[in-house]
Amino acid sequence: MRPSRDIGLALLHAGVVLCQVRRLAISIDSTDIKSGTPLDGFVSYSIEFASFPDFAGNKSSPNTFSDNLLNNIGYLQGDKPYIRVGGNTQDFAIYNANLTVALNGTVNVTRSPDYPTTIDIGPSFFESYSTWPNVKFSHGFNMGGNNDPRVQDTLTQTAELACMALGTDKLYVWEYGNEPDLFATNAQWPVRPSNWNESDYVNEWLDGTAVIKSVIQKNCPDLASINAYKYMAPSLAGVANHLKAPLAWADGLDNTQNIEYFSSHNYISGANTPGVTLQGTLMNHTRTRLSVEAHVDEYNTINPGAGVSHIMGETNSLYNQGRPGLSNSFGAALWGIDFALYCAALSIRRVHMHMGTNYRYASWQPVETTRATRGTKAPYYGNIAVAAFLGNLRIAPRPNRPPPPDRQRHRGRLCCRSPTAATASTGVQLFRRRGTTTARIQRLYANGSDAITGITWDGWSYNYELDEGRPVRLANVTVGETVQVTNGTLNITVPDSQAVLVTLGGMDETLNRPSGPARRGRSRNRGI
């Protein structure tokens, strides 16, 4: 818990040039701060529908590794992440009441090698909603249909099962359809005709959500009230695809006023896109800035009103589940910090990082498979750093708009550093604060931007093999670093490919200590 008097400054250095030293002066003016307003659970996740049983487990075998990682984030930001259960496979899922397993899927490599595209789910699928305490979920209903005639029966059957499994304590919001702007144009599995437009989409969405509400009114009446029956939408894949969100909104998507979150999806580039690199793509702040701002412009064009918050309902580094060596690297963790904090500064109020079993960009691999080893992956450490920077969102100060990356003097205390400026020493000029003489330094560290292991946050490891994702303090990493503030200025050394959190004010070790039992090296220490 961070006292409200403290100020956090994030220094993100994603340079890959070595042996070059420059100085960057960052000027902070307390009268010229523009703040975002993130919601509780800002660092949240989107889990591929077909992978959800792997990530969560079931009543008899809950996935405690996943829950430990969620607890770590929750301790830092004040609430455990909100979980969106959806993605492409939600629109393939057909309900089979006689299925004795949670999910039976068939992979067709010509459609996707990474997830099944023919899916049956059984009653036990919904057990997975009971395994993680104090987590709220959104459930994704099948709108696309996958050209299966059973889709309408599936909608009514799963609406009943989902509302009974979630109830008021676990329900976040509902979602009907994933990325409908690709329904007519997906070369691998088009599920709508080429002339399907925004008006057609809106009519289908209103009809389908009316069916869902009628089922909920009958089976879960406490979830059918005006305040409880809410959606995230439109969950489009981008701002320039076959359907446009402003036109869908103008055609009446929110006529029934049940959309609580305007949900955008964003990927900086594609896993198979030529020319994608760490430095030029993921660690390029200008590219991230332009990508995020396009969604903000879209939201502002619609101007849905204060009652509809803007969120990233699904996002990650490179679509098509990421590329090995890029999406699972420390550079991707640095990208995640830059992306999430820029979203927060522009009042995108919650960010759901997408992941699935065997996905290259996932924050963790939940189970052992023939394609991937169970474990905590580099992007998770970026998620931890974001949660630590924002602190307890119920009480902490709000983040500020990052400055342009090409100026040497900036205003605003959230600083996203230029990925091309290889700076080993940073001077930060601070506005005067009575009694502030010391700054606490916490570092996200790895041996280079291409590292996929050996990553720590403030000396903590969250690796599966140490204590199933619970925090373990490593003895070989320097922690407890402080810097004196002299005449309103402090100097911080920031090596290439590192992120640093500077906290002004409270120096208490408990400000960002991890949750639950923790270990130093190999000995358990419950007092941390």
Q: Is residue 368 over pLDDT 70?
A: yes
Catalytic residue among 48, 204, 298, 314: 314
Give CATH 2.60.40 domain extents, the chain.
7-36+401-525
Query: 527 forms bridges with which residues in the sheet?
Result: none
Q: Is residue 517 over pLDDT 80?
A: no
Q: What is the mean pLDDT of residues 349-367?
A: 98
Asked if residue 422 lies in contact with residue 496, where contact means CB atoms within 8 angstroms, the answer is: yes
- As a whole number, the mean pLDDT across the chain is 86
pLDDT given at position 36: 81
pLDDT given at position 188: 80
Q: Which residues contact 441 (CB under 8 A, 6 or more apart)?
A: 481, 482, 483, 492, 500, 501, 502
Confidence of residue 456 (pLDDT cuts 50, 70, 90): very high
Q: Determine the Cα–Cα distance for residues 93 and 329; give it in Å rounded to an integer.
A: 32
Q: Determine the Cα–Cα distance for residues 517 and 472; give it in Å rounded to an integer.
A: 9
Residue with tokens 């902070």: 28
Q: What is the mean pLDDT of residues 479-496?
A: 86
Q: What is the mean pLDDT of residues 182-206?
A: 95
Query: 375 forms bridges with which residues in the sheet?
Result: 365
Confidence of residue 176 (pLDDT cuts 50, 70, 90): very high
Q: Determine the Cα–Cα distance for residues 496 and 419; give it in Å rounded to an integer.
A: 9
pLDDT given at position 6: 44
Token pair recorded at residue 32: 């010229």
Q: Is residue 17 over pLDDT 60?
A: no
> Is 198 a residue of the active site?
yes
Confidence of residue 179 (pLDDT cuts 50, 70, 90): very high
**Least confident window among 45-54, 197-206, 261-270, 482-491:** 482-491
With a threshold of 0.85, does the pTM exceed it?
Answer: yes
Q: Is residue 80 over pLDDT 60?
A: yes
pLDDT given at position 504: 80
**Least confident window among 349-353, 406-410, 498-502:** 406-410
**Least confident window among 96-105, 138-147, 391-400, 424-433:** 424-433
pLDDT tens digits for range 122-175: 999 999 999 999 999 999 999 999 999 999 999 999 999 999 999 999 999 999
Q: Which residue has the higher pLDDT, 267 or 412?
A: 267
CATH architecture, range 7-36+401-525: Sandwich (2.60)
pLDDT given at position 520: 42
Q: Which residue has the higher pLDDT, 150 or 506?
A: 150
pLDDT given at position 528: 20
| Angle, in degrees to the nearest 10, between helices 378-390 and 64-77 | 30
> Is 293 a residue of the active site?
no
Catalytic residue among 175, 198, 204, 298: 198
Q: Is residue 511 over pLDDT 70?
A: no
Q: Is residue 33 over pLDDT 60?
A: no
Q: Which residue has the higher pLDDT, 54 or 14?
A: 54
Instruction: Give the residue from 168, 163, 107 showing the smallest Cα distance to 139.
Output: 163
pLDDT given at position 189: 85
Q: Is residue 244 over pLDDT 80?
A: yes
Question: How many Å from the N-terminal Cα to the C-terminal Cα in the chain?
Answer: 14
Where does residue 169 rank: exposed (0-12), middle (13-18), buried (19+ CB within 10 A)?
A: exposed
43-390 CATH pick, 1.10.1200.10, 3.40.1390.10, 3.20.20.80, 3.40.30.10:
3.20.20.80
Q: Which residue has the higher pLDDT, 478 or 135?
A: 135
CB atoms within 10 A of CB 64: 15
Give CATH 3.20.20.80 domain extents, the chain.
43-390
pLDDT tens digits for range 434-454: 556 889 999 999 999 999 999
- Dihedrals phi, psi of 493, to nearest 5 degrees: -85, 125
Secondary structure element (H or E) that encloses residue 371, with its range: none
